Amino acid sequence: MSTIREDGPSGRIAGTGATRGAVAVALIATMGWAHAAAAVTISITAERHGEIIEIHASALLKAEAATAWRVLTDYGRYPEFIPDLRVSRVVARRGPTVTVDQAGDARLWLLRMPLEITFEITESPPYGVRSRAVAGSLRALESRYVLTPASSGVYLDYTGQIAPGFELLGRVEEYAVQQNVARQFQALADEIERSSAAAR
């Protein structure tokens, strides 16, 4: 198992592309490059189990739970604070189930690829969101966000299971998954804190 601690930038992208291998490495659920200086300290771990890479990320945010929930579920506003994400739109809503299309550019080192993905998201207000990819080039992508109120704010926790489908890259692929999820999680955590401070 590998572990990193991130204080830097983040982003999110999900996608569909030409070849499963290339898309899997570049996409890996979410991605992005540097944006504004990050305020939130996050922790993230990645562990591989066969074809599945499991990611855990967490952060204690100086924010109200209601603000965190609003930012987390405002999918249409994601391109405003997540680098390289051009489109994020709700295309269907049936009770607690939301279908979201996203499009943007995935980056891995010097590579840049246009990618798209469709998520089916199940909301459990006010503290839980589950999502899975229903269209795209990954074999499987499932994730969960949980908000837990704390005396000094709110905990944001993420768990993801990703089957990229290109095992030849081994540890490089695992590292790419971890870094891209870290960027996405960092961007979301920073925006929740920023929005909460603005509200106050």
DSSP 82-122: STTEEEEEEEEEETTEEEEEEEEEEEETTEEEEEEEEEEEE
Count of structural domains within the chain: 1
Question: Cβ neighbours of residue 118 under 8 Å, at least 6 residues apart?
Answer: 91, 99, 100, 101, 102, 133, 134, 135, 136
- How much is the pTM? 0.77
Q: Is 50 left (phi over 0), alpha (psi -120 to 50) or beta?
A: left
Q: Which amino acid is at 145?
A: Y
- Residue 37 belongs to what domain range? 2-199
Taking 70 as the threshold, does the pLDDT of residue 25 lie above it? Answer: no
- Reference 183, options 1, 3, 47, 13; nearest CA is 13
Percent pLDDT > 90 in the chain is: 50
Taking 90 as the threshold, does the pLDDT of residue 165 lie above it? Answer: no
Q: Among all chains, which residue has been given the structure tokens 């081994």? A: 170
Rounded CA separation 77/47 (Å): 31
Q: What's the whole-number average pLDDT of the chain?
A: 79
Return the pLDDT at 2: 38
Percent pLDDT > 70 in the chain is: 72
- Taking residue 140's Cβ as centre, other Cβ atoms within 10 Å add up to 13
- Summarised one tens digit per residue, pLDDT across range 98-134 is 999 998 776 666 666 677 889 999 999 999 999 999 9
Rounded CA separation 11/190 (Å): 11
List the CATH number of the domain containing 49.
Answer: 3.30.530.20
Return the pLDDT at 83: 78
Q: Which range scores top for mean pLDDT: 87-91, 102-106, 180-184?
A: 87-91
Read off the pLDDT band of 166 (50, 70, 90).
low
> First vs last Cα of the chain: how many Å apart?
40
Return the pLDDT at 99: 97
Q: Strand 128-135 relative to strand 153-163: parallel, antiparallel, unpaired?
A: unpaired
**How would you class 61 by CB atoms within 10 Å of its CB: exposed for 0-12, middle for 13-18, buried for 19 or more?**
buried
Taking 80 as the threshold, does the pLDDT of residue 173 lie above it? Answer: no
Taking 70 as the threshold, does the pLDDT of residue 14 lie above it? Answer: no
Between 31 and 182, the higher pLDDT residue: 182
Instruction: Pull the structure tokens for residue 34.
Output: 């540097």
Return the pLDDT at 169: 56
Return the pLDDT at 148: 97
Rounded CA separation 132/142 (Å): 4
- Summarised one tens digit per residue, pLDDT across range 32-79 is 333 445 579 999 999 988 888 899 999 999 999 999 999 999 999 999
- Taking residue 3's Cβ as centre, other Cβ atoms within 10 Å add up to 11
